[in-house]
Amino acid sequence: MDIRHQERIKIVQELYAQSFKPQSVSDKTAAITDKQTEINAFIKKYAAKFPVDKIAKLDLAILQLGIYELIFEKKEPPKVIINEAVELAKEFGSEKSYSFINAILGKIYNKGSI
């Protein structure tokens, strides 16, 4: 398994755990948590029918990682980031998670927010 994919898995796990109880996390997860208000604003804008507090916590963690990488980090090409988020959703989310995540990240990418 690709080392970057393994790192993303760890970050999603940390974000998911953080949603239940604050704890010590990696630097990247801490950076995502610091930008959480801004990240969640993107989710509210592009997933208006789904209040952030009603989105499955795992899907939310994957979205937050994807949006952070798309908007703030910008180390990988956008399509790679979206594909990785979709793969994480297929691996860990429900059967509809990947299409939801793909739609939200795709809207952010297509609307020129990045």
What is the CB neighbour count within 10 angstroms for residue 6?
A: 10
Domain span at residue 98 reads 3-110
Q: What is the CATH number of the domain that holds 101?
A: 1.10.940.10
- Measure the CA–CA gap between 47 and 31, rounded to whole angstroms: 23
The pLDDT mean for the chain works out to: 93
- Average pLDDT rounded to a whole number, residues 19-42: 94
User: Could you report the per-residue pLDDT of 55-91, keeping only the tens digit for each?
Assistant: 999 999 999 999 999 999 989 999 999 999 999 999 9
- Average pLDDT rounded to a whole number, residues 9-15: 96
- Average pLDDT rounded to a whole number, residues 9-38: 94
- Measure the CA–CA gap between 106 and 10, rounded to whole angstroms: 23
Count of the separate structural domains present in the chain: 1
| Nearest in space to 104 (alpha carbons), one of 49, 54, 58, 57 | 49
Amino acid 48: pLDDT: 86
- Measure the CA–CA gap between 78 and 84, rounded to whole angstroms: 10
